[in-house]
Structures are given as structure tokens and as C-alpha cells.
Chains A and B, each alone.
Chain A
Amino acid sequence: MLILHIVSLQPAHGYGIAQRLDQISRSVVQVNQGSLYPALHRLEQKGWLRAEWKQSETGREAKFYALTASGRKQLAAEKDSWARLAGAVQLIFSEGSGS
């Protein structure tokens, strides 16, 4: 879900995604860089990501991943279910402290 979200902001290459994950979560979420690539390929296989080779900011060719339409749908669904889960957990905690 995190990968999908990052890519939804703008197309990015593997290294860029790793950096962004690090930055955004302020190093709270430690994604093992090694497991990033299998995940990316799995998402591409499922048709949620589309990849193409483009010039990167350093001038070298890099593989850029972009979100597809079905990827967008999947992201929305996952955000939704995450929000519901988080809300439920929140509710339980506030109930517990209230009583």
C-alpha cells in the first residue's frame, strides 16, 4: 500500500521509492531494500503498476514505475480498509481509557 501511494504521487524508480519511504516515514518504517524489488515486480505482475525505462534526474536510464487504473482502484480500496481498521483500533483504545 505504501509503495502504491508513493507511486501515485508521481512515477518513481526503485531507488527513489526506497528513499521516499525512508523520508516520509521519518525512518520509522524500515523497509528492507532487498525486499522492495520483489514487491515491485509482484505489483507489476498484478497489473497495478506499469513500468517503463526513462531518463532519470542523473541522466541515466532508470526503470520508472507508475500507477495503473486498476492500481488506483486497489489503492483506494486498501486505504479504505486501513482507515476502517485504524478507526476500530482507535475506538477500542478510547473506550478502554474512558471507562
Chain B
Amino acid sequence: MRQLANWFRRKKLESGLDRELRYHLDRRIMDLERAGLSAGGARRQARLELGGVAQIQEDVRDVWLARWLRDFVYDLRFSVRSFRRTPAFTITSVLSLMLGIGATSAIYSLVDQVLLHALPARQPERLVLIDWKGDQVASGFGSWNLMSYPICRDLDQQKQFFEGVFCRALTTINLSTGGDSRAATAEIVSGNYFSVLGVGPALGQVLTNDDDRRPNANPVTVLSNDFWKAQLGGATDVVGRNMLVNRHRLTIIGVAASTFRGIDVGEVPSLWIPASMSTEVIPGFNGLHDRRTRWMQVLGRLRDGMTLQRAQAGLQPWFKAMLHEDMRRAGFPVITPERRQRFLNSSLVLTAAPQGHSTLRRRLLEPLWVLFAATVVLLGLACLNVSGLFLARGSARDREIGTRLALGASRGRLGRQLLATAC
């Protein structure tokens, strides 16, 4: 540190050293003259005794600032000067590097958000997505990996495999807080959604199983932190306020933790509503307890020490029994023998879902990686481009480097100068 500080006050140091050495010489000359030498002889003698002044100055400068550091600073200044002399070269290389690095980091941050970012939940690596492979003999609405609410509740009972299983469905609702109304995204969730994910409230409380027991009896909602901040100005007294969701009154009981933005990267919900209220908030929907209406994604948290494969294998016997039971239920549709076979051959598939569920991710998985690879190639091209430019310039400096070598510069020293130019 002290050495670096020396670099910035080197003018003062230099003049001080000059004065010091001059004083030494003058005193010595004086003393020698007093001893009887001629003026010229005394001067010569004094210089001889002291040795080369330039050499001493160099040695002292090494004390002030370590040699390699000093050289590096000189080299940097040299590079800056040579860059200033060739602005076209400099602009070209800076631009191509800028493009390469900018594109790569932009795409990487997208990849990171969509593909790599784990949910801000407790131990996200234990989260799995549960999917039905085969014919569910069900009608449904929504996007991917859908099952019915009662099956989700049944899965939640499989405690030897899961700590808990929750389900959720995204829907667009008409929301009005005061006078005006607007569209918002809401996540309809089972009551254990927050407890299975391990997400707590920032304010008030989050939904619990008690909010999801009796149909239409729990007019409550939890706000997302983003919605609370953006639309309600982060007011601390929102708990207990009412909102109209599709003209049904819901009471705000809390705000979710700020890091949590839902389990779907593509769509951040404004609020969470218990599934027991689905008939109220989804117009015309009456399928909450219908086993043949598939509309929710089902995710679970594996028990500690349970592996995905063991859970998947262990679930099948129960699942087959459930299929047979379902078929005997009143109201099971009349189907062809082939379809019945497809239904009975269904199985459950578990996939690790540390990043939650995302239709966006599913859609973008491949294109994003391809895009990322493309930008990496672009960065590589930019580097190649710049190194080509440097190479061309290097060969143009052939004569200069030859001169430097002839003057006694070591190869190592020249290499270091070129390296300094590169950084």
C-alpha cells in the first residue's frame, strides 16, 4: 500500500533524492578540497566514491516501488499511449469485445433466471413434480402436468414418501381494491402450499390447511410481495382489508416473503387464493371435488432421505389400486375397452423440480440453451477477432521489437510489455 502511495508522490520523492545526493557530493568535494585536492580532482574523486548517480537513483526507486510493479505501470502507460495513437484499432477491438461480452452476459442472466435458479424455498432439491402418464379419462383446462384436486389430496396422504404434496393452478382474475378493477394473475393453491414449500409471511400470515377445508367458507387471500409493494404502496395495514375478486369479497390475511415470486418463473402471481374458494373466483367452475377434472399441477416435497426413484416405484401399487377404485366409482364415464386399458396402464412420473414448475421453462429449455451456445460462439468469435487484430499489429511492430532486443531488452521484459498491452 505504502509502495503504491509512493507512486503518486514520486515527483516529491525524486526531487528529495536529488537534493540529498547533491548535498552528499558537495560536502565530499568540500572535504576533499580542504584535504588539499584541486577543485577538479576533488570533484572526480567524490564522483568515483559515490558511484553512478543514475544507478543509485534506480536502486532507490526500486525501494519506493517494487521493480515489477513499476515496470507494469510504465507498460500500462505505454499501452494507453499506443492505443491512443491507433484509435481505429482500439475502437474495433473494444466494440467487438463489448458485443461479445454483453450478449453473453445478457443471455446468461436469462438462462440463470429461467433454468438454473432454484426456488427460494426450504431445501428446493427435495421438491418434485408429480405427473400422470397415460389417459386420465378426464376433461380439463390449463396447461401442463394437470391432475384433479382430490387426487392431489390423496397423494398428500402418502406420508411414507412425501412430507407433503400440494397443488396449484394459475388463473386470471378480475380484481378490484377500491373503485377501479383490473386483471391480475392469481394462484389457486391447496392449503398446504406455503408450508410444503417452506415459505413464510413478510406480514400477517400465509395460507394454512385450515383455509382449505370447507368449500366456499374461507374468503381469504395472501398477497405477493411485489403486488403489495407496487399496487398497495407497501402499506403495513393491509392485513384485514377486503378485495373484490371476480366480485367476491376476500380478506387479506398476509403478504408472502419478499424473495418468493411463486413457483412459476414465467408468471408471478399477484395473490394466492385457497382452492376451497375456486368455485367463487373461477366463473363457471364447479370441479373442485370432481376426480375427473384435471386443472392443477401437483408438486410434492420428498421425505428426508427418500430418493426420487424409490418414491416413484413405491407409489405405483397404491396408484394402481386407486385407478381400480376410481373406475368403480359412481359417475365414472362409460369408455371403450381400449381406453379403459390405457387408463389402467397409467403410471405416476416424478421429476425433480428444484426450480418449481414453469411452462416458460418447458417451452424455452432448448431454444435458450441454443441461444446461449450461440452467444458463447459469438464471444469466441469476438476474441478471435481481437486476437487477430493484435497479431496483425504485433507483426507490424516487428522492427520496433527487434530494436528493443538489440538495445538489450530481455525477452521476458518484452513479453511482459506485450501482456500489459493485452490487459
Contacts and interface: CB of A to CB of B under 8 A. Distances in A.
A32 B56 CA distance: 11
B4 interface: no
B283 interface: no
Contact of B51 (A15, A34, A58): A34
Contact of A37 (B3, B19, B21): B21
Contacts of A33: 24, 49-51
Interface of A: 13-15, 18, 32-35, 37-38, 41-42, 45, 56, 58, 60-63
Interface residues of B, number: 24
Contacts of B52: 34
30 contacts: A13-B23, A14-B24, A15-B24, A15-B28, A18-B24, A34-B50, A34-B55, A34-B56, A35-B59, A37-B17, A37-B21, A37-B59, A37-B60, A38-B60, A38-B62, A38-B63, A41-B17, A41-B60, A41-B63, A41-B64, A45-B2, A45-B3, A45-B64, A56-B23, A58-B27, A58-B30, A60-B23, A60-B26, A63-B16, A63-B23
A63 B13 CA distance: 12
Contacts of B180: none
Interface string B1-42: 011000000000000110111011011101000000000000
Interface of B: 2-3, 16-17, 19-21, 23-24, 26-28, 30, 49-52, 55-56, 59-60, 62-64
A50 to B, nearest CB: 14
A42 B16 CA distance: 15
A45 B63 CA distance: 8
Given A18-B24, A45-B63, A63-B16, 16 more contacts: A13-B23, A14-B20, A14-B23, A34-B52, A35-B59, A37-B59, A38-B56, A41-B60, A41-B63, A42-B63, A45-B64, A58-B27, A60-B23, A60-B26, A63-B20, A63-B23
